[in-house]
Each structure stands twice: as structure tokens, then as C-alpha cells.
Amino acid sequence: MAGVRRIIPLTLGWCDLDLSVSIHGDTSGTMLREPIPGVLLECDGGWLLLDTGYNTALMNDPELRRRFYGNPLEQPVLPGPGEPLEAALAAAGVDLADVHAVAVSHLHMDHAGGLKFFAGRAPVHVQRRELAYGLNGMTGPAGPEENGIFRIDFDDPRLDWRQADGDTEIAPGVTAVLTAGHTPGHQSFIVDLDPSVGGGGLVFAFDAADLVVNIDQELAVGGFIGVEPEVTVEAIRKLKALAADRGYRIVPGHDPVAWPALTAELSTRWPARTP
């Protein structure tokens, strides 16, 4: 097999937030409900999961929620009382045990919170500098927790980290692309579809570009760690060049219109299966 055979976007919750969180310098006061993304990829040997959503344990306890989700500009919204990742996988017809590998775009709370399900079970791909910052680092005036990276989500000795230094293929047809800026080791993903399913592919930006407008107008994202906002624009331009070279579409990480549209589009191409 030369590439990925199925792509299933997952919505693992939402976040109610001020537009300035996604667009640097925005002063409109606009509030958005942005989706929390995950992506299932059917690769050679099984399913690869990109990103894992929130850690619900930090929300269900009132004291923990105040500590970790006390920022009024970013309030998580869960789809139901259970575990969003388990529910999304079940809806896609995929059993948790069938996920043979995981990759995280970065370690922010809305992307790394479900890693607890894979401790001792599946390897986890991450950029080396991202994990180093999450476990050890100070970059700028605030540490990881103040920047939305919660060590409790991923500091588990049972996690089998596969650390990369820059762009690297993590599975047949899946390339992790270093797009640092939003976080020190943020990575996006190029997904090449197998010729047996028509070829082509997509570029999943994740938080290198939250919204379509970040891509189209090359607007800096609202959050960045230890760099100037222009560095996030450089990451967007890198993805645009890679996508143009392949003729692929770039999928922003949290667009409230583009993400559900892609989900609906791909659900007609690859309907859910019964596990």
C-alpha cells in the first residue's frame, strides 16, 4: 500500500472562545464555537489517530476545572456525559483497541487530553521539542501550564513516545510537518491517499491555522509561545507551499464552517462501519 485508505474526521467537542484566540490582534469581540478536531486514518496495519481531544477528568471535578479551565475567553464544551473520544470512535465504527498508533499535533489541552487511553497500548508520535517543552521547559514569561499545556495529560511513563526532529513520515502516506510557532514543536500532517481509493490527499494544519481566514489572508494565529506572531505566518506559508506542490487542500484546525463541511463530505465517501 502506498497511502491512506480512509480519512474520518472526528469532532471531540467544542470550545467557546473570543476570535482573538484564533486571529492575532482581533478586537471585534466576536465569539465563536470552534470544533475540537481529531482525525482517524486507515493505514497499513491499522488505524492512526491524529489528536485526542480534552481530558474530561479535569472538567468533572469543580476544583480541577477552576484550575485548568478558568480562562473566561476559552470555555470547553463536551458533546455528552461520557468520554468524547470513545464515543466518536464508536460512531465511526472503530474500536479503541484498533488504534495502532497516535500522533499529536501539539500538547495543548484540547489536543492531548485523551492520551490517557493509549498509555501502554500504542506508540505516540510527537516532535521532540514539543515534549521537552511540555515536560521541562520555560519559554517566555510563562511556563507550559500557563500556556495551556497540562503536564498531567501526558506525563505518564507508560506512554511510548516516538520523537521526531522536523518533518518525517510517521506511517505510509502520513508525513508530520514541523510548523512551530503556536507551540515550540507544533506539527501538521500531510495525508496522501492510496491510488486504490483515488489518490490525492489533504493537509491537516491543526493549530498552525485555526480558521480558513488564517490561511487565505495569512493571518497570524492568536496563540504562540516564545516567538513573534510572524513566525506563525511562516508556518502557514510553509503549508501553503507544500499543499500547492501536491495540489492538496489545507484543512484548518478549528474552523466552525469548514470542519463540519469536511466531515459531511468524507462521510459520504467513507460511511461508518460496524465494529
Q: What are the cell numbers at 64?
A: 480541577
For the record, the C-alpha cell of 164 comes out as 521526531
For position 270, what pLDDT does the model report?
87
Contact 115, 153 (CB under 8 A): yes
**pLDDT one-digit tens code per residue, 10-66:** 999 999 999 999 999 999 999 999 999 999 999 988 999 999 999 999 999 999 999
Give me the amino acid identity at 70: G
CA 88 centroid distance within chain: 15
| Nearest partner of 59 among 20, 14, 94, 9, judged by Cα | 14
Query: Distance between the two ends of the chain, CA-based, in angstroms?
Result: 23
Q: Quick one: pLDDT band at residue 255, thresholds 50, 70, 90?
A: very high
CATH of the domain spanning 6-269: 3.60.15.10
pLDDT digits (tens, 9 = 90+) for 205-236: 999 999 999 999 999 999 999 999 999 999 99
Q: Is 173 exposed, middle or buried (0-12, 13-18, 19+ CB in 10 A)?
A: buried
pLDDT in tens, 119-174: 999 999 999 999 999 998 765 567 899 999 999 999 999 999 999 999 999 999 99
Residue 191 · residue 173 · CB < 8 Å: yes
User: pTM of this prediction?
Assistant: 0.96
- Going by C-alpha positions, the residue among 87, 90, 113 that lies closest to residue 102 is 113
Residue 78 has, within 13 A of its CA and on its CB side, a CA count of: 18
State the average pLDDT for the chain: 95
Q: What is the dihedral of CA 219, 225, 227, 228, to 10 degrees?
A: 40
Mean pLDDT check: name the lowest of 4-18, 67-81, 144-158, 173-187: 67-81
3-state secondary structure of 251: strand
Strand-pair category, 99-103 with 46-50:
parallel
Percent helix, strand, coil in the chain, to 5, is 30, 30, 40
Sign of CA dihedral 138, 143, 145, 149: negative
Question: What are the angstrom distances between the C-alpha of 242 and each of 94, 125, 208, 214?
Answer: 30, 21, 14, 16
